[in-house]
Amino acid sequence: MKSHEIKAVIEGLLFVSGEEGIDEKQIMEVLQLDRKTVKFYMSELMEAYSADSRGLQIVEIAGGYQFTTKAEHALYFKRLIQSPSTTTLSQAALESLAIVAYKQPISRIDIEDIRGVKSERPIRTLLAKSLIKEVGRVEGTGRAILYGTTKEFLEQFGLRTIKELPPLPSNIEDEDVEEEVDLFFAKFQEQLAVVNEDK
């Protein structure tokens, strides 16, 4: 494989790994390269993405790599979050929020297993609105981020504690969660409408 192809694959790996990131060992295994070679290509990519013309950067955290936005652009991301078109939650975000609320602490991968679709974007939305937060990491390989609800989540939807969520059947299976949280969605959508009318 040529140099530019290797770097293109690494970019793709960084993209699909999302906020979880990808560690050096995973890149080595996928591309069948040694550590020194991976470090060489990562160094080149990180330098390329550090240019002012790039909106993303590659950061190294705890032996892994991930795409992040640049701190100097934070003002524009804040404007996006605060714009009128983003005051309500999409159905995807509501579904993800419901799953986090009932199954916390839970990883993005587990949320996606339950929903059956990619959930990185709704999770980013929920994080930006402070409805969920990182509460830890899964033990073992990958150390996936675990999510839970926040104090703002309780305040936003008029709950004193997480125990006030509509109860689910005690014998519910993971694959049935989305169906069973219809009541949860209805409660939240009604509350969202009230909240948005007040803004």
Overall domain count for the chain: 2
User: Is 108 inside any structural domain?
Assistant: yes
User: Is 77 inside any structural domain?
Assistant: no
Instruction: Examine the pLDDT at 191 and tell me if it is beyond 50.
Output: yes
Which residue range forms the structural domain that includes residue 47? 3-71
What does pLDDT average to over the chain? 81
Which of 2-6, 125-129, 146-150, 175-179 has the lowest average pLDDT?
A: 175-179
Counts for the chain of helices (H) and strands (E), in that order: 10, 6
Q: Burial, 128: exposed, middle or buried (Cβ in 10 Å; 0-12, 13-18, 19+)?
A: middle
Whether 58 and 128 map to the same domain: the answer is no
User: Is 78 inside any structural domain?
Assistant: no
Whether 87 and 21 map to the same domain: the answer is no
pTM of the model: 0.50
For the record, the structure tokens of 130 come out as: 């402070």
Whether 67 and 125 map to the same domain: the answer is no
Instruction: Examine the pLDDT at 133 and tell me if it is beyond 70.
Output: yes
The answer to whether 172 touches 93, Cβ cutoff 8 Å, is no
User: Is 76 inside any structural domain?
Assistant: no
Instruction: Examine the pLDDT at 77 and tell me if it is beyond 80.
Output: no
The answer to whether 152 touches 89, Cβ cutoff 8 Å, is no
